[in-house]
Amino acid sequence: MRKTATIAALLACTATAPIAAKEGMFTPGQLPEIAEDLKETGLEIDPETLTDLTGFPMGAIVSLGGCSASFVSPEGLVVTNHHCARGSVQYNSTAENNYLENGFLAKAKGDELPAAPGSRIYVTTEITDVTARMRDGVDALSATERYDTLEQRMKDITAECEQDAGSRCQVASFYGGAEYTLIKRLEVRDVRLVYAPADSIGKYGGDIDNWMWPRHTGDFAFYRAYVGPDGSAADYSEDNVPYQPEHHLKVSAAGLDDGDFVMAAGYPGSTQRYATLAEVENTFSWTYPTYVTLVNDWIDTIEEAAPEGSDARVKYESLLAGLNNFEKNTRGQLEGARRVGLVDRRRAREEALAAWIAADPSRTNYGDAISGLQALTVEGAAAAKKAFWYNFATRPSLLSAAQRLYRLSQERLKPDAQREPGYQDRDMTFFAQGLQALDRRYEASVDKAQWLLFLDTYLEEPAQNRVAVFDDALGLTGDVDAAALSAKLDSYYAGTTLDDSETRLALMDASPADFEASEDPFIQLAVALYEYEREQEAEAEERAGRAQALRPAYMEAITQWQRSQGLSTYPDANSTLRVTYGNVMGGSPKDGMAYLPFTTLEGILEKDTGEDPFNAPAKQLQEIREKDYGPYALDSIGSVPVNFLSDLDSTGGNSGSATLNARAELVGLLFDGTFESVNSDWDFDPRTTRTIHVDTRYMLWVMDKVDGAEGLIEEMDIVD
């Protein structure tokens, strides 16, 4: 692996003013600017080493494409959260052989199972600043031309990067499109499940404890990366060999104590710290409340249609877990916004920013950009409200598959470089694996129940929010009889062949004419909706093009205004590598409420009821009662720590992030935040923001005392 000359400016421009607080998901290139505070907080290694993504320790940090992870052995062993690997556990499970319930452990490499289709491990190999190439001349273009030009340049740069076999490249945007960085990664396509504790450990507390403290969840699991015999990226094959990373993390059995330095390295998904007032108002007055109501009904519908213990429930476990997580997070966002007065705080920020702009005539262009962005936000919100229920009404799994397949047939009429993202040759492996994965995540009766729910909400919408072509195609004109609608949907499921994976895969090579001649009802509906959806897509792209002209100026105004106050501006999270740091720390998010920094094994006994989700394995309970702590106890708490709190700044996508001590040794995995913290996506509050980690001492204790994973312990570098 090699490092480019641009790594010093990695992922973002380096601000010159000191950061005033621990708030911030920093790009590695910013870390030298806060080196003094890193050292004062407790970091013992040179902060400069953290800017080298191909060196130690950052070279051990990887992305799973939605979660974070890290190498912990020279033989490609990767540790991440249980909930990040749970989709692969679910994919390999059946009602008769349920790894979700029983856990999975490969005693030898030959026993490891292929992860769910589409699973990837991404290892960063090179970073390049491509801002000049991306932005050259775009300011003079119309909105649609700007959008198309930026997208085409992004595709061209990516295609050039991916000429190296086995590479997966990404052009990432920072500060609202003011800067662009090309990230080149090795794409490990052969990912295998090595070990995941049973849900009664890895998901202990379930949705009840999700986002809550105290927590006692063993949220960890292991994958292994495999490559071809020559070391190149390769699809699954029995001939493949474990990938040998240049760097892997040592695992600490000594762990941490209250107040110790910690940092997390991972790939946070997105934050909205710089969203405008109009964006905040629309989100918290309409979008989030609407989602909470819908998702609760959605969960109830799945649970009724897929009874506990059925094969259908196994197929929908991952979706249910995701919906429950999303619902609770969204409720936390709403409660947090109310508690801190988010709308008023954002209004005050914009008033202060406006006053700063007005104080200098040379800043007028900033004010124009902000006004334009506010107006565009209102316009986009109106379009989103109109499309919201239609998007759900067209969500059935087989309709979605038919729409993607028909779109693919149309896109293939174009040269590959001109196709839409997601439909280029580089995307076809993912495309096919997504079609295959449907086999273990689809049941007709459950899919129909969801469709009926979404249609009920759609039919309640006023006429201006209905889509005529959809109503005509599905017969939703006039008074809709519930029994007749149910029978109509039955005819779709009875008349389709898209429930067969071989049929779906074969249609990847079909022409538009093949689809247009099809008698499959889902394909007919997809064809009928195609032109309308392309029109909506074109309108959305035109709005995005206008935003691409306005948001860089808005972010420049924010940056310059904060700099005038002695503050720096870190970019919003965008699924690129970030570092956040702080200390092991409890807290008091509300009057009379105190959070201790650690939970213990004994807390599992106190919570345990013997019924899901508080149904720890009998062997684990016995070991706890016997106080068989082994070498993993923390003297200050007199037990083995299970989870711990820190004041790190994190969000979704950080799941599985390596939590490192002052010497960059693995001491835990970041897996959640407290309920009071979730609103920090929008507005950081140092009093309430706390992140939850699973302690490596608990991970090792479970592996040693409960699941007999001694082979994995021996494979890792365990340090005291």
d(CA 265, CA 12): 16
Q: Which residue in the block uniquely carries the two structure tokens 């040693």?
A: 704
Q: Indicate the pairing of strand 718-719 with strand 251-252.
A: parallel
* Helices (H), ranges, 244-363: 277-282, 288-305, 311-340, 342-358
- Residue among 318, 639, 655, 657 flagged as catalytic: 655
**First vs last Cα of the chain: how many Å apart?**
30
Q: What is the sign of the dihedral through the CA atoms of 382, 384, 390 and 393? A: negative
Beta-ladder partners of 111: none
In degrees, to the nearest 5, what angle opens at C-alpha 117 toward C-alphas 85 and 423?
A: 125
Confirm whether 693 is a catalytic residue.
no
Confirm whether 655 is a catalytic residue.
yes
The one-letter amino acid code at 512 reads: P
Half-sphere exposure of 87 (CA within 13 A, CB side): 18
- Tokens matching residue 266: 């991972």
d(CA 673, CA 515): 46
Q: Which residue in the block uniquely carries the two structure tokens 């001349």?
A: 137
SS3 content of the chain, % helix, strand, coil (to 5): 50, 15, 35
**Distance between alpha carbon 205 and the CA centroid of its chain, in Å?**
21
- Tokens matching residue 440: 């273990």
Helix (H) or strand (E) holding 448, with range, is helix 444-459
* CB distance 617 to 702 below 8 Å: no
Whole-Å CA distances, 494 to 36, 283, 395, 398, 518 = 66, 39, 18, 12, 15
- Give the burial string for 303-320 (b: 16+ CB within 10 Å, else e): eebbeeeeebbbbbbbbb
- Residue among 129, 199, 219, 647 flagged as catalytic: 219
d(CA 169, CA 65): 12
Closest CA to 542 of 366, 392, 383, 367: 383
**Concatenated DSSP letters for 12-53?**
SPPP-SPP-SS---B-GGGGGGGHHHHHHHT--S-GGGGG-T
- Tokens matching residue 477: 């004109």
- Tokens matching residue 149: 């030009």
- Residue among 83, 216, 248, 693 flagged as catalytic: 83
Residues annotated as catalytic are: 83, 219, 655
